[in-house]
Amino acid sequence: MATSGVKVRDDCRTMFEEMKLKQKYKYIVYGMNKDDTMIEPLTNADEDNKNKTYEDFCNELPDTECRYGVFDLHFDLPSGGRRNKLVFYMWAPEGAKVKNKMLYASSKETINKALVGIAHNIQATERSELEEQPLIDLLITKIK
């Protein structure tokens, strides 16, 4: 448990494992339940989103509420070959209420520990921080 007391619902881990091992999802978006006591998947477990894009993922992040997310990023290496990395996002937009931002910030470690296998973490507060190419460039430099 985090200092916030928020817990991670079991299906968050289950969906993440299906994403990591079976490539069932291109991305998963997580949020708080209505009581702010539990992190739960907001992505429908039955939805086949393997063919969705990074833009689709970013469009699911609201302008006035925080979210967590994981995206399975595939990219080409300059030297040839293709890689994929699981990227964790904490989305805390400027338009979100302070209480919402504080709750998500204090619960981030809890969900991070539950999702084993994350290659990179991003904390974004505005859309420009979600741009895909700078992230790919950063991941490529980490591989070298």
Residue 76: CATH number of its domain: 3.40.20.10
Do 32 and 40 contact (CB within 8 A), yes or no?
yes
| Amino acid 2: pLDDT | 46
| 2 found inside a domain | no
* 144 residue type, one letter: K
| 1 found inside a domain | no
| Residues whose CB falls within 8 Å of the CB of residue 136, separated by 6 or more in sequence, listed in order | 73, 75
| 110 found inside a domain | yes
Question: What is the span of the domain harbouring residue 137?
Answer: 7-143
| 92 found inside a domain | yes
| 107 found inside a domain | yes
71, β-bridge pairs: 27, 87
CA nearest to 36, candidates 2, 13, 59: 2
| Amino acid 1: pLDDT | 41
State the total domains in the chain.
1
Please give the distance of CA 107 from its chain centroid, rounded to a whole number: 14
| 51 found inside a domain | yes
| Amino acid 3: pLDDT | 63
| 85 found inside a domain | yes
| 54 found inside a domain | yes
| Amino acid 142: pLDDT | 86
pLDDT tens digit at each of 144 positions of the chain: 446 789 999 999 999 999 999 999 999 999 999 999 999 999 988 877 888 999 999 999 999 999 999 999 999 999 889 999 999 999 999 999 999 999 999 999 999 999 999 999 999 999 999 999 999 999 999 886
